[in-house]
Amino acid sequence: MRFNRNKINMMKKTIITTLVIGMMTVFAANAQKGMDKFMVQVDGLGCPFCAYGLEKKFKEFKGIKDVKIDIETGDFSFAYPAEKELTMAAVEQQVEKAGYTPITSKIERANGKIEESAAAALSENNTGTVTKNLMVAGNCGMCEARISKAAKSVAGVSEISWDKGNKMMKVSFDAGTTSLSEIEMAIAKAGHDTKNHTAEIGTYDGLPACCHYERIAK
Amino acid sequence: MKYIYSMLGTVLLLASCQEKEALPTAWTFSRTIQLDGVNPIGIVEMDGKLWLSDGDQNRLVQIDKEGRIEQTIDSLDRPMHLDAQGATLFVPQYGMDNIATITDGSLGVLSLKDSLDAPAGFSVFKNEKAIADFYNNRILYHNGTDWISFGKEGRAGGEFYYPTDVQITDSLIWVADAYNNRIQVFDKNGSFVKMMGQDQKMNAATGIFVSETEVFVSDFENDRVLVFDMDGILKQEISKNIEKATDMLLVDTELYVINYRNGQLNIFELAEVDPQANEQVANKKE
Protein backbone atom coordinates (compact mmCIF):
# COMPACT_ATOMS: atom_id res chain seq x y z
CA MET A 1 0.00 0.00 0.00
CA ARG A 2 2.85 2.31 0.91
CA PHE A 3 4.58 1.36 -2.33
CA ASN A 4 1.45 2.28 -4.30
CA ARG A 5 1.23 5.72 -2.61
CA ASN A 6 4.86 6.41 -3.63
CA LYS A 7 4.09 5.29 -7.12
CA ILE A 8 1.08 7.63 -7.26
CA ASN A 9 3.21 10.52 -5.99
CA MET A 10 5.77 9.84 -8.67
CA MET A 11 3.07 9.73 -11.33
CA LYS A 12 1.70 13.05 -10.08
CA LYS A 13 5.16 14.61 -10.33
CA THR A 14 5.61 13.26 -13.85
CA ILE A 15 2.24 14.64 -14.96
CA ILE A 16 2.96 18.07 -13.45
CA THR A 17 6.40 18.18 -15.07
CA THR A 18 4.91 17.18 -18.45
CA LEU A 19 2.23 19.86 -18.12
CA VAL A 20 4.79 22.54 -17.22
CA ILE A 21 7.02 21.60 -20.18
CA GLY A 22 3.99 21.53 -22.47
CA MET A 23 2.88 24.99 -21.30
CA MET A 24 6.38 26.37 -21.77
CA THR A 25 6.46 24.99 -25.31
CA VAL A 26 3.08 26.59 -26.08
CA PHE A 27 4.25 29.93 -24.66
CA ALA A 28 7.47 29.75 -26.69
CA ALA A 29 5.52 28.91 -29.84
CA ASN A 30 3.15 31.82 -29.22
CA ALA A 31 6.09 34.14 -28.63
CA GLN A 32 7.50 33.17 -32.02
CA LYS A 33 4.08 33.25 -33.65
CA GLY A 34 3.97 36.98 -34.21
CA MET A 35 7.42 37.09 -35.77
CA ASP A 36 8.44 36.89 -39.43
CA LYS A 37 11.75 35.11 -40.02
CA PHE A 38 14.19 36.58 -42.50
CA MET A 39 17.09 34.71 -44.07
CA VAL A 40 19.49 36.56 -46.33
CA GLN A 41 22.58 35.18 -47.93
CA VAL A 42 25.28 37.81 -48.22
CA ASP A 43 28.34 36.48 -49.93
CA GLY A 44 31.76 37.66 -48.82
CA LEU A 45 31.29 38.33 -45.12
CA GLY A 46 34.85 37.23 -44.44
CA CYS A 47 35.81 40.09 -42.16
CA PRO A 48 34.29 40.34 -38.69
CA PHE A 49 34.40 44.14 -38.74
CA CYS A 50 32.26 44.16 -41.90
CA ALA A 51 29.93 41.42 -40.68
CA TYR A 52 29.29 43.05 -37.32
CA GLY A 53 28.77 46.30 -39.24
CA LEU A 54 25.96 44.64 -41.21
CA GLU A 55 24.41 43.45 -37.98
CA LYS A 56 24.75 46.96 -36.54
CA LYS A 57 23.00 48.45 -39.55
CA PHE A 58 20.03 46.16 -38.95
CA LYS A 59 19.75 47.33 -35.36
CA GLU A 60 18.09 50.38 -36.93
CA PHE A 61 15.07 48.08 -37.36
CA LYS A 62 13.56 48.47 -33.93
CA GLY A 63 12.13 45.23 -32.63
CA ILE A 64 14.63 43.00 -34.45
CA LYS A 65 15.30 39.74 -32.60
CA ASP A 66 17.36 36.57 -32.89
CA VAL A 67 20.01 38.08 -35.14
CA LYS A 68 22.38 35.39 -36.35
CA ILE A 69 25.28 35.85 -38.66
CA ASP A 70 27.60 33.20 -40.04
CA ILE A 71 30.67 34.87 -41.42
CA GLU A 72 31.91 31.71 -43.14
CA THR A 73 28.73 31.01 -45.10
CA GLY A 74 27.38 34.55 -45.31
CA ASP A 75 24.06 33.42 -43.84
CA PHE A 76 22.35 36.26 -42.04
CA SER A 77 19.01 35.73 -40.31
CA PHE A 78 16.73 37.51 -37.89
CA ALA A 79 13.15 37.68 -36.67
CA TYR A 80 10.95 40.74 -36.92
CA PRO A 81 7.44 41.54 -35.65
CA ALA A 82 4.93 40.46 -38.29
CA GLU A 83 2.66 43.45 -37.73
CA LYS A 84 5.42 45.74 -39.04
CA GLU A 85 5.18 44.00 -42.45
CA LEU A 86 8.84 44.39 -43.31
CA THR A 87 9.30 43.78 -47.03
CA MET A 88 11.95 41.84 -48.89
CA ALA A 89 12.87 45.02 -50.77
CA ALA A 90 13.43 46.95 -47.54
CA VAL A 91 15.68 44.20 -46.20
CA GLU A 92 17.71 43.99 -49.40
CA GLN A 93 17.97 47.78 -49.46
CA GLN A 94 19.32 47.76 -45.90
CA VAL A 95 21.89 45.11 -46.84
CA GLU A 96 23.01 47.28 -49.75
CA LYS A 97 23.03 50.36 -47.50
CA ALA A 98 25.53 48.54 -45.29
CA GLY A 99 27.70 48.06 -48.37
CA TYR A 100 26.88 44.44 -49.17
CA THR A 101 25.28 42.55 -52.01
CA PRO A 102 22.34 40.29 -51.14
CA ILE A 103 22.52 37.07 -53.10
CA THR A 104 19.32 35.34 -52.01
CA SER A 105 16.61 36.27 -49.56
CA LYS A 106 13.83 34.27 -47.93
CA ILE A 107 11.03 35.28 -45.61
CA GLU A 108 8.98 32.85 -43.54
CA ARG A 109 5.97 34.93 -42.58
CA ALA A 110 4.27 34.31 -39.26
CA ASN A 111 1.14 33.25 -41.19
CA GLY A 112 3.10 30.47 -42.91
CA LYS A 113 3.59 32.24 -46.21
CA ILE A 114 7.03 31.87 -47.79
CA GLU A 115 8.61 34.57 -49.95
CA GLU A 116 11.81 33.96 -51.84
CA SER A 117 14.00 35.91 -54.19
CA ALA A 118 17.10 35.02 -56.14
CA ALA A 119 19.37 37.78 -57.27
CA ALA A 120 19.67 36.55 -60.81
CA ALA A 121 17.98 33.91 -62.85
CA LEU A 122 20.23 31.95 -65.11
CA SER A 123 19.64 32.25 -68.78
CA GLU A 124 17.50 29.47 -70.12
CA ASN A 125 18.73 29.88 -73.63
CA ASN A 126 22.12 28.26 -73.82
CA THR A 127 22.35 28.04 -77.57
CA GLY A 128 25.81 28.91 -78.77
CA THR A 129 27.39 29.05 -75.32
CA VAL A 130 30.95 30.32 -75.22
CA THR A 131 33.34 30.59 -72.29
CA LYS A 132 35.80 33.47 -71.92
CA ASN A 133 38.44 34.52 -69.39
CA LEU A 134 38.90 38.15 -68.52
CA MET A 135 40.72 40.23 -65.94
CA VAL A 136 38.41 42.02 -63.49
CA ALA A 137 39.82 44.12 -60.65
CA GLY A 138 38.66 43.43 -57.09
CA ASN A 139 39.89 42.48 -53.66
CA CYS A 140 37.69 40.29 -51.59
CA GLY A 141 34.63 38.08 -51.21
CA MET A 142 32.36 41.08 -51.35
CA CYS A 143 33.91 42.05 -54.68
CA GLU A 144 33.35 38.51 -55.89
CA ALA A 145 29.67 38.70 -54.97
CA ARG A 146 29.25 42.06 -56.70
CA ILE A 147 31.08 40.97 -59.85
CA SER A 148 29.03 37.75 -60.04
CA LYS A 149 25.79 39.61 -59.53
CA ALA A 150 26.63 42.20 -62.18
CA ALA A 151 27.63 39.55 -64.71
CA LYS A 152 24.55 37.41 -64.02
CA SER A 153 22.32 40.44 -64.48
CA VAL A 154 23.19 40.33 -68.19
CA ALA A 155 20.70 38.18 -70.13
CA GLY A 156 22.47 35.22 -71.70
CA VAL A 157 25.10 34.71 -68.99
CA SER A 158 24.90 31.18 -67.64
CA GLU A 159 27.99 30.75 -65.45
CA ILE A 160 30.47 33.04 -63.79
CA SER A 161 33.37 32.59 -61.46
CA TRP A 162 36.06 35.01 -60.34
CA ASP A 163 39.35 34.25 -58.66
CA LYS A 164 40.37 36.96 -56.21
CA GLY A 165 43.93 35.64 -56.28
CA ASN A 166 44.66 36.19 -59.95
CA LYS A 167 41.69 38.54 -60.61
CA MET A 168 40.53 36.41 -63.53
CA MET A 169 36.86 35.96 -64.31
CA LYS A 170 35.60 32.94 -66.20
CA VAL A 171 32.24 33.57 -67.80
CA SER A 172 29.98 31.41 -69.97
CA PHE A 173 27.30 33.08 -72.06
CA ASP A 174 25.12 32.68 -75.10
CA ALA A 175 26.96 34.51 -77.83
CA GLY A 176 23.70 35.04 -79.71
CA THR A 177 22.19 36.91 -76.76
CA THR A 178 25.07 39.00 -75.39
CA SER A 179 28.75 39.73 -75.75
CA LEU A 180 31.80 39.86 -73.52
CA SER A 181 31.85 43.64 -73.91
CA GLU A 182 28.27 43.93 -72.59
CA ILE A 183 29.21 41.81 -69.58
CA GLU A 184 32.29 43.94 -68.97
CA MET A 185 30.17 47.09 -69.10
CA ALA A 186 27.76 45.68 -66.52
CA ILE A 187 30.67 44.83 -64.22
CA ALA A 188 32.25 48.27 -64.66
CA LYS A 189 28.87 49.85 -63.92
CA ALA A 190 28.87 47.95 -60.62
CA GLY A 191 32.22 49.53 -59.73
CA HIS A 192 34.86 47.10 -61.01
CA ASP A 193 37.44 47.87 -63.66
CA THR A 194 37.77 45.27 -66.36
CA LYS A 195 40.43 44.93 -69.01
CA ASN A 196 38.44 47.08 -71.43
CA HIS A 197 36.03 49.11 -69.31
CA THR A 198 36.66 51.44 -66.38
CA ALA A 199 34.27 52.00 -63.49
CA GLU A 200 33.07 55.55 -62.85
CA ILE A 201 35.10 57.19 -60.10
CA GLY A 202 31.95 57.93 -58.08
CA THR A 203 30.87 54.29 -58.23
CA TYR A 204 34.35 53.14 -57.25
CA ASP A 205 34.43 55.57 -54.33
CA GLY A 206 31.05 54.27 -53.18
CA LEU A 207 32.33 50.71 -52.77
CA PRO A 208 32.88 49.48 -49.20
CA ALA A 209 36.31 50.07 -47.77
CA CYS A 210 37.58 46.55 -48.21
CA CYS A 211 36.62 46.58 -51.90
CA HIS A 212 38.85 49.50 -52.87
CA TYR A 213 41.07 47.53 -55.20
CA GLU A 214 44.08 48.83 -57.05
CA ARG A 215 42.68 50.28 -60.26
CA ILE A 216 43.63 48.91 -63.64
CA ALA A 217 45.79 51.44 -65.42
CA LYS A 218 44.53 52.20 -68.91
CA MET B 1 112.99 35.63 -33.93
CA LYS B 2 111.60 36.76 -30.63
CA TYR B 3 109.87 39.58 -32.50
CA ILE B 4 108.25 37.16 -34.96
CA TYR B 5 106.95 34.93 -32.13
CA SER B 6 105.59 38.00 -30.41
CA MET B 7 103.78 39.14 -33.58
CA LEU B 8 102.37 35.65 -34.18
CA GLY B 9 101.17 35.48 -30.60
CA THR B 10 99.44 38.83 -30.93
CA VAL B 11 97.72 37.79 -34.17
CA LEU B 12 96.54 34.52 -32.64
CA LEU B 13 95.30 36.36 -29.55
CA LEU B 14 93.37 38.86 -31.66
CA ALA B 15 91.92 36.07 -33.77
CA SER B 16 90.76 34.18 -30.69
CA CYS B 17 89.31 37.34 -29.14
CA GLN B 18 87.35 38.26 -32.27
CA GLU B 19 83.65 37.88 -31.54
CA LYS B 20 81.70 35.40 -33.52
CA GLU B 21 79.72 37.30 -36.15
CA ALA B 22 76.09 37.43 -35.05
CA LEU B 23 73.61 35.92 -37.46
CA PRO B 24 70.43 37.86 -38.18
CA THR B 25 67.39 36.80 -36.24
CA ALA B 26 63.83 36.33 -37.45
CA TRP B 27 60.53 35.29 -35.92
CA THR B 28 60.30 31.57 -36.45
CA PHE B 29 57.28 29.35 -35.98
CA SER B 30 57.33 27.48 -32.69
CA ARG B 31 53.94 25.88 -32.04
CA THR B 32 50.18 26.11 -32.46
CA ILE B 33 47.54 26.20 -29.76
CA GLN B 34 44.18 25.20 -31.17
CA LEU B 35 41.28 26.99 -29.52
CA ASP B 36 37.96 25.23 -29.22
CA GLY B 37 35.06 27.22 -30.67
CA VAL B 38 36.75 30.59 -30.33
CA ASN B 39 37.10 33.11 -33.15
CA PRO B 40 39.54 35.52 -31.53
CA ILE B 41 39.79 39.18 -32.45
CA GLY B 42 41.87 40.66 -29.64
CA ILE B 43 44.45 39.27 -27.21
CA VAL B 44 45.84 40.66 -23.97
CA GLU B 45 47.75 39.41 -20.95
CA MET B 46 46.55 40.24 -17.46
CA ASP B 47 48.21 38.87 -14.33
CA GLY B 48 50.05 36.32 -16.43
CA LYS B 49 46.83 35.03 -17.96
CA LEU B 50 45.80 35.30 -21.57
CA TRP B 51 42.43 36.81 -22.41
CA LEU B 52 40.87 36.68 -25.86
CA SER B 53 37.87 38.54 -27.19
CA ASP B 54 35.59 36.16 -29.07
CA GLY B 55 33.46 38.50 -31.17
CA ASP B 56 31.33 35.82 -32.79
CA GLN B 57 30.29 34.41 -29.42
CA ASN B 58 29.98 37.83 -27.72
CA ARG B 59 32.34 36.86 -24.91
CA LEU B 60 35.81 37.00 -23.47
CA VAL B 61 37.64 33.82 -22.68
CA GLN B 62 40.68 33.27 -20.51
CA ILE B 63 42.75 30.32 -21.63
CA ASP B 64 45.50 28.22 -20.14
CA LYS B 65 48.76 27.33 -21.89
CA GLU B 66 47.08 24.51 -23.81
CA GLY B 67 44.25 26.74 -25.00
CA ARG B 68 41.66 25.33 -22.61
CA ILE B 69 39.09 27.86 -21.51
CA GLU B 70 39.40 28.55 -17.76
CA GLN B 71 37.08 31.56 -17.47
CA THR B 72 34.39 33.08 -19.63
CA ILE B 73 32.74 36.48 -19.50
CA ASP B 74 29.51 36.39 -21.49
CA SER B 75 26.83 38.89 -22.46
CA LEU B 76 29.12 41.29 -24.25
CA ASP B 77 28.24 42.78 -27.64
CA ARG B 78 30.90 42.10 -30.24
CA PRO B 79 34.02 42.60 -28.09
CA MET B 80 37.02 43.64 -30.17
CA HIS B 81 40.70 44.59 -29.57
CA LEU B 82 40.87 44.76 -25.79
CA ASP B 83 43.52 45.94 -23.36
CA ALA B 84 44.23 45.54 -19.64
CA GLN B 85 45.72 47.50 -16.78
CA GLY B 86 46.07 46.26 -13.22
CA ALA B 87 43.07 44.05 -12.60
CA THR B 88 40.85 45.76 -15.17
CA LEU B 89 40.04 44.64 -18.67
CA PHE B 90 38.98 47.34 -21.13
CA VAL B 91 36.74 45.92 -23.83
CA PRO B 92 35.49 47.93 -26.80
CA GLN B 93 31.97 46.71 -27.58
CA TYR B 94 31.49 47.22 -31.29
CA GLY B 95 27.79 46.51 -31.19
CA MET B 96 27.09 48.54 -28.06
CA ASP B 97 29.16 51.66 -28.88
CA ASN B 98 30.93 51.69 -25.53
CA ILE B 99 34.01 50.53 -23.66
CA ALA B 100 33.19 47.92 -21.05
CA THR B 101 35.40 47.70 -17.99
CA ILE B 102 35.65 44.41 -16.17
CA THR B 103 37.30 44.27 -12.75
CA ASP B 104 37.15 41.05 -10.75
CA GLY B 105 34.12 39.97 -12.74
CA SER B 106 32.28 43.22 -12.13
CA LEU B 107 31.08 44.89 -15.33
CA GLY B 108 31.12 48.67 -15.80
CA VAL B 109 31.26 51.14 -18.65
CA LEU B 110 33.94 53.74 -19.27
CA SER B 111 32.42 57.18 -18.95
CA LEU B 112 32.73 59.23 -22.14
CA LYS B 113 31.18 62.54 -23.12
CA ASP B 114 31.53 61.77 -26.81
CA SER B 115 29.53 59.07 -28.58
CA LEU B 116 31.26 56.20 -30.33
CA ASP B 117 30.20 54.35 -33.45
CA ALA B 118 31.56 50.81 -33.39
CA PRO B 119 34.70 51.07 -31.24
CA ALA B 120 37.12 48.47 -32.57
CA GLY B 121 40.27 48.96 -30.51
CA PHE B 122 41.34 50.22 -27.10
CA SER B 123 44.70 51.00 -25.55
CA VAL B 124 45.62 51.93 -22.01
CA PHE B 125 49.11 53.16 -21.06
CA LYS B 126 49.89 54.63 -17.64
CA ASN B 127 47.12 57.23 -17.18
CA GLU B 128 46.43 57.51 -20.92
CA LYS B 129 43.72 55.84 -22.98
CA ALA B 130 42.92 55.65 -26.69
CA ILE B 131 39.98 54.33 -28.69
CA ALA B 132 39.82 53.40 -32.39
CA ASP B 133 36.37 54.70 -33.32
CA PHE B 134 35.71 52.63 -36.46
CA TYR B 135 32.73 54.24 -38.19
CA ASN B 136 33.63 57.75 -37.03
CA ASN B 137 37.06 57.35 -38.64
CA ARG B 138 38.88 58.89 -35.70
CA ILE B 139 40.93 58.22 -32.59
CA LEU B 140 39.81 59.41 -29.20
CA TYR B 141 42.77 59.96 -26.89
CA HIS B 142 42.79 60.76 -23.19
CA ASN B 143 46.08 62.29 -22.04
CA GLY B 144 45.31 61.76 -18.37
CA THR B 145 43.38 64.99 -18.10
CA ASP B 146 41.35 65.60 -21.24
CA TRP B 147 39.99 63.68 -24.17
CA ILE B 148 40.99 64.84 -27.64
CA SER B 149 39.75 63.54 -30.98
CA PHE B 150 41.78 63.40 -34.16
CA GLY B 151 41.35 62.10 -37.70
CA LYS B 152 38.54 62.05 -40.23
CA GLU B 153 37.60 59.88 -43.19
CA GLY B 154 40.15 60.14 -45.96
CA ARG B 155 43.27 58.87 -47.61
CA ALA B 156 45.80 61.57 -46.73
CA GLY B 157 48.26 61.38 -43.85
CA GLY B 158 46.35 61.88 -40.61
CA GLU B 159 43.08 60.68 -42.13
CA PHE B 160 41.56 57.25 -41.62
CA TYR B 161 39.54 54.74 -43.50
CA TYR B 162 38.09 52.60 -40.72
CA PRO B 163 40.70 52.35 -37.93
CA THR B 164 40.49 49.00 -36.14
CA ASP B 165 43.23 49.06 -33.53
CA VAL B 166 45.36 51.50 -31.57
CA GLN B 167 48.33 51.39 -29.20
CA ILE B 168 49.88 54.08 -27.04
CA THR B 169 53.62 53.99 -26.35
CA ASP B 170 55.88 56.39 -24.43
CA SER B 171 55.71 59.24 -26.90
CA LEU B 172 53.48 58.09 -29.75
CA ILE B 173 50.07 56.73 -30.71
CA TRP B 174 50.04 53.95 -33.30
CA VAL B 175 46.95 53.18 -35.38
CA ALA B 176 45.99 50.24 -37.60
CA ASP B 177 44.31 52.22 -40.38
CA ALA B 178 42.59 49.08 -41.62
CA TYR B 179 41.16 49.92 -45.02
CA ASN B 180 43.80 52.45 -45.94
CA ASN B 181 45.98 49.37 -45.57
CA ARG B 182 48.66 51.05 -43.49
CA ILE B 183 49.86 52.03 -40.04
CA GLN B 184 49.73 55.66 -38.98
CA VAL B 185 51.69 57.21 -36.15
CA PHE B 186 50.74 60.35 -34.19
CA ASP B 187 52.22 62.40 -31.41
CA LYS B 188 50.24 62.94 -28.25
CA ASN B 189 48.68 66.12 -29.54
CA GLY B 190 47.12 64.08 -32.34
CA SER B 191 49.48 65.46 -34.97
CA PHE B 192 50.41 63.11 -37.79
CA VAL B 193 54.02 61.91 -37.53
CA LYS B 194 54.46 59.21 -40.16
CA MET B 195 52.89 56.23 -41.87
CA MET B 196 54.27 52.80 -42.65
CA GLY B 197 53.34 49.75 -44.69
CA GLN B 198 51.46 51.76 -47.30
CA ASP B 199 53.66 50.24 -50.00
CA GLN B 200 53.20 46.64 -48.87
CA LYS B 201 49.89 45.99 -50.67
CA MET B 202 48.17 45.07 -47.42
CA ASN B 203 44.49 44.19 -47.61
CA ALA B 204 42.89 45.22 -44.31
CA ALA B 205 45.48 46.09 -41.65
CA THR B 206 43.27 44.92 -38.79
CA GLY B 207 45.55 44.72 -35.77
CA ILE B 208 48.70 46.34 -34.41
CA PHE B 209 51.20 45.56 -31.69
CA VAL B 210 54.21 47.76 -30.96
CA SER B 211 57.18 46.45 -28.97
CA GLU B 212 60.26 48.47 -28.00
CA THR B 213 61.98 47.68 -31.27
CA GLU B 214 59.36 46.40 -33.69
CA VAL B 215 55.92 47.09 -35.07
CA PHE B 216 53.67 44.14 -35.93
CA VAL B 217 50.61 44.48 -38.13
CA SER B 218 48.12 41.81 -39.18
CA ASP B 219 47.37 41.86 -42.91
CA PHE B 220 43.99 40.15 -42.60
CA GLU B 221 43.05 39.21 -46.17
CA ASN B 222 46.60 38.34 -47.23
CA ASP B 223 47.09 35.89 -44.34
CA ARG B 224 50.29 37.39 -43.02
CA VAL B 225 51.84 39.47 -40.26
CA LEU B 226 54.29 42.16 -41.29
CA VAL B 227 57.13 43.17 -38.98
CA PHE B 228 58.59 46.65 -39.32
CA ASP B 229 61.35 48.42 -37.49
CA MET B 230 60.45 51.65 -35.72
CA ASP B 231 61.21 53.64 -38.86
CA GLY B 232 58.80 51.61 -40.98
CA ILE B 233 61.37 49.48 -42.77
CA LEU B 234 59.93 46.02 -43.43
CA LYS B 235 61.97 43.43 -41.54
CA GLN B 236 59.94 40.28 -42.01
CA GLU B 237 56.79 38.82 -43.43
CA ILE B 238 55.37 36.00 -41.32
CA SER B 239 52.87 33.80 -43.07
CA LYS B 240 53.38 30.31 -41.73
CA ASN B 241 50.08 29.10 -40.24
CA ILE B 242 48.60 32.60 -40.45
CA GLU B 243 44.97 32.63 -41.58
CA LYS B 244 42.95 35.79 -41.18
CA ALA B 245 45.08 37.10 -38.32
CA THR B 246 43.52 39.79 -36.18
CA ASP B 247 45.98 40.58 -33.38
CA MET B 248 49.42 39.99 -31.97
CA LEU B 249 50.99 40.07 -28.50
CA LEU B 250 54.54 39.78 -27.29
CA VAL B 251 54.80 37.71 -24.12
CA ASP B 252 58.38 37.64 -22.84
CA THR B 253 60.31 36.37 -25.84
CA GLU B 254 57.38 34.85 -27.68
CA LEU B 255 55.18 36.42 -30.31
CA TYR B 256 51.55 35.31 -30.13
CA VAL B 257 49.44 35.65 -33.27
CA ILE B 258 45.72 34.87 -33.25
CA ASN B 259 43.86 33.60 -36.30
CA TYR B 260 40.25 34.68 -36.43
CA ARG B 261 39.17 32.13 -39.02
CA ASN B 262 40.45 28.82 -37.67
CA GLY B 263 40.73 29.77 -34.00
CA GLN B 264 44.45 29.19 -33.74
CA LEU B 265 46.98 30.85 -31.51
CA ASN B 266 50.34 30.51 -33.24
CA ILE B 267 53.52 31.18 -31.33
CA PHE B 268 56.76 32.40 -32.86
CA GLU B 269 60.21 32.80 -31.36
CA LEU B 270 63.22 34.78 -32.42
CA ALA B 271 65.85 32.51 -33.87
CA GLU B 272 69.05 33.01 -35.77
CA VAL B 273 68.60 32.41 -39.45
CA ASP B 274 70.89 31.85 -42.36
CA PRO B 275 70.67 35.07 -44.38
CA GLN B 276 70.92 32.99 -47.54
CA ALA B 277 67.80 31.03 -46.66
CA ASN B 278 65.23 33.55 -47.79
CA GLU B 279 62.40 31.15 -47.28
CA GLN B 280 63.26 30.75 -43.63
CA VAL B 281 63.36 34.48 -43.09
CA ALA B 282 60.16 34.99 -44.98
CA ASN B 283 58.68 32.14 -42.94
CA LYS B 284 56.44 31.21 -45.82
CA LYS B 285 53.44 29.00 -45.32
CA GLU B 286 54.25 25.36 -45.97
Backbone angles phi and psi of A46, in degrees to 5? -75, -20
Region A178-193: what's the mean pLDDT?
90
* Identical topology for domains A34-118 and A129-211: yes
Does residue B128 register a pLDDT over 60? yes
B75: buried, middle or exposed (CB in 10 Å: 19+, 13-18, 0-12)?
exposed
Architecture of domain B23-282: 6 Propeller (2.120)
Residue A129: partners with Cβ closer than 8 Å, 6 or more residues away: A158, A172, A173, A174, A175
Between CA B235 and CA B28 the distance in angstroms is 13
B36-78 pLDDT, tens per residue?
A: 999 999 999 999 999 999 998 999 999 999 999 999 999 999 9
Residue B15 above 70 pLDDT?
A: no
- In terms of CA atoms, which chain A residue is nearest residue B177? A209
In sequence order, the 6+-apart residues with CB closer than 8 A to the CB of B130 are B122, B123, B139, B140, B141, B142, B166, B167, B168, B173
Longest dimension (CA), chain B: 87
Contacts of B41 in chain A (CB under 8 A): 48
Q: What is the pTM of this model?
A: 0.74
- Does residue A152 carry a pLDDT above 70? yes
Res. B10 pLDDT band, cuts 50 70 90: low
User: Is the pLDDT reported for residue B219 higher than 90?
Assistant: yes
Hey, is B46 helix, strand or coil? strand
- Residue A192 and residue A136: Cα distance in Å, rounded? 7
Q: Out of B39, B178, B201, whose CB is closest to A49?
A: B178
To the nearest whole Å, the CA of A54 is away from the closest chain B CA by 10
N-to-C CA span, chain A = 97
Number of inter-chain CB pairs under 8 A, A vs B? 53
- The highest-level CATH class for domain A129-211 is alpha beta
Q: Which of A45, A47, A214 to mutate to test the interface with B (most CBs of B within 10 A)?
A: A47
Residue B13 has pLDDT above 60, yes or no: no
Of residues A55, A210, A214, nearest to B204 (C-beta): A210
Distance in Å, alpha carbon of A210 to nearest chain B alpha carbon: 6
- Band (B90; pLDDT cuts 50, 70, 90): very high
> Are A140 and B201 a contacting pair at CB < 8 A?
no
Query: Where do the structural domains in chain B lie, given as residue ranges?
Result: 23-282
For residue A192, pLDDT over 90 is answered with yes
Record: contact A55-B55, CB cut-off 8 A: no
Q: Do B178 and A53 touch (CB under 8 A)?
A: no
| Binary contact (B41, A71; C-beta < 8 A) | no
Question: Which one, of B116, B55, B114, lies nearest residue B82 by Cα?
Answer: B55
Question: What's the fold here for domain A34-118?
Answer: Alpha-Beta Plaits (3.30.70)
* CA B250 – CA B269 distance, rounded (Å): 10
User: Is the pLDDT at B284 greater than 50, yes or no?
Assistant: no
Q: Worst-scoring range by mean pLDDT, A28-37, A165-174, B136-145, B177-186?
A: A28-37
Identify the CA nearest to A48 among candidates B242, B44, B216, B121: B121
Model confidence pLDDT, tens digit, residues A17-71: 666 555 555 444 544 569 999 999 886 676 888 889 889 889 889 999 998 888 7
Mean pLDDT lowest for which of B16-20, B55-59, B78-82? B16-20
Beta bridge partners of B63: B50, B69
pLDDT for res A208: 85
- Which one, of B176, B164, B272, B179, lies nearest residue B226 by Cα? B176
Residue B208 and residue B182: Cα distance in Å, rounded? Answer: 10
Q: Residue A14: what pLDDT?
A: 66
pLDDT for residue A23: 54
For all residues of chain B together, what is the average pLDDT? 91
How far apart CA A76 and CA B162 sit, in angstroms, is 23
Can you give the residue ranges of every domain in chain A? Answer: 34-118, 129-211
Say if residue B109's pLDDT is above 90.
yes
Let me know: does A198 contact A216? Beta carbons within 8 Å. Answer: yes
Chain A positions contacting chain B at CB under 8 Å are 46-49, 52-53, 55-56, 59, 71-72, 139-140, 209-210, 212, 214
Mean pLDDT over residues A146-150, rounded?
91
Shortest Cα–Cα distance, A136 to chain B (Å) = 17
Round the average pLDDT of chain A to a whole number and report it: 81
Report H helices in B32-185: none
